[in-house]
A and B are shown apart, each in its own frame.
Chain A
Amino acid sequence: MAEGIHLTPIGDGNVLLEPGEGLDPSNPDALVAPVLEFLQNNQARRLVYDLKTVRLIDAVYYAWLTKLSATCRIANVEMVTVNMQPAAAYALSLTLDKPTPFTCALDIHHLR
């Protein structure tokens, strides 16, 4: 698996992605392939991206999230972010001019 990414199947077709310290979002192309491979091997229908430890979502990080969600969509996997921190949501809302290409949920218990 790519460095800084921890993937766990959590049942019901869901896979939890927990980003770690070593994640380098500046090179999304190198990261998406192993993630997609894991999702397909586990017949995932939804990727749950946990943003609990992400304090700030800047343009580089957002580009990585967008790329990942686009790749997931091609493979018929829905991407949902959970636990976005208030400060990160606030900062990101200032830069966005259109809705995010992925779904956002409060936490893992509130997936729709």
Chain B
Amino acid sequence: MAKETSQEKTTNQILIEQLMQNVGKISAIIEKQGQSIFGHKNLLSNNEINDYSLEFLELLTMLLHAGDKVDRRGAEYKALRQFFANFSQQIQVRGGDMDEFVRYVHFLQRVFLENLEADKSVSFEKAREILMMLGMIFNDIILDVFHIYLEGKEKTIQAQQEELRQTSTPITEIWDGVLTLPIIGSLDSSRTMIVMEKLLSRIESDRARVVVIDVTGVMAIDSQVSHHLIQMIRATGLMGATAILTGIRPEIARALTSLNIDLSAVTTRSKLSEGLKEAFRQLQIEVSRPNK
């Protein structure tokens, strides 16, 4: 008789019934596992774990109540996914990794499957349907978490790249009206754009009259890089400042010559210190040692 009744019930109804009958047990198991996964690293406090467990069960119940079948585009489904998205973000922010969270989600799925296994009144077909439905829900959740994790990683990489860009082009005002720009590494088009943008803004804001561009840290130069350098020097001139190019190593000078790059219109000096002296000379600044 019981078997016949469960045949007529929808998968959602079966799950709701199981949830209602065993809510205390399920909740206790989930909380215990949550504590074992998130508690040992202090990722979540016991209260938070309990709150999350209860909220999860509440949202799942709402989803099952929403219709005979789970609607993936429904508000309840979105709410459940959003809950896990927020949950995983919190874990990530607190230094947890994706493995822990995926283990937790798998565990949640297993709790329901074990419960289903224990209920002998559920037919094979219904059990299969429930299994597929749970699989779909938890797979979607895991995919969401995976995307959030990837987004987080991408953001970190972008932030690191930006930091690297900032630190690799430190424009410093070393004297009133004198800026230094040491270039380290290679100059490609996108980096030139960033460097030039920063340099021209600094010329304007600092009212700089001389810019010493030091290329000691440039390991190799090709026609594109030299073109970018000339472009930078020209833009500096258009702003009304003078550019002094320093630190051209012999191999770079040789490469420039073989590339037929004409630097005759550019003021060059061997070292950064020589470039500074030239900047001071142009600004009619005298630096002298005080008499002892």
Q: Which residues of A contact B (CB under 8 A)?
A: 81-82, 84-90, 92-94, 96, 99-100, 104-107, 110
Contact = CB atoms under 8 A, between A and B. Distances in A.
B200 A89 contact: yes
Contact of B234 (A93, A105, A107): A93
A106 B241 contact: yes
Given A99-B237, A104-B238, A106-B240, 17 more contacts: A84-B238, A84-B239, A84-B240, A86-B197, A88-B238, A89-B200, A90-B196, A93-B232, A96-B234, A104-B237, A104-B239, A106-B203, A106-B208, A106-B239, A106-B241, A110-B209, A110-B240
A89 B237 CA distance: 9
Contact of A89 (B207, B235, B265): B235
Contact of A106 (B197, B207, B231): B207
A40 B198 CA distance: 40
B50 to A, nearest CB: 56
A82 B240 contact: yes
B240 A86 contact: no
B201 interface: yes
Contacts of B238: 81, 84, 88-89, 92-93, 100, 104
B97 interface: no
A84 B201 CA distance: 11
A92 B208 CA distance: 20
B204 interface: yes
B241 A93 contact: no
Interface string B182-224: 0000000000000011001101100111000000000000000
Nearest to B240: A106
Contacts of A86: 197, 200-201, 203-204, 239
B164 to A, nearest CB: 22
A23 B207 CA distance: 28
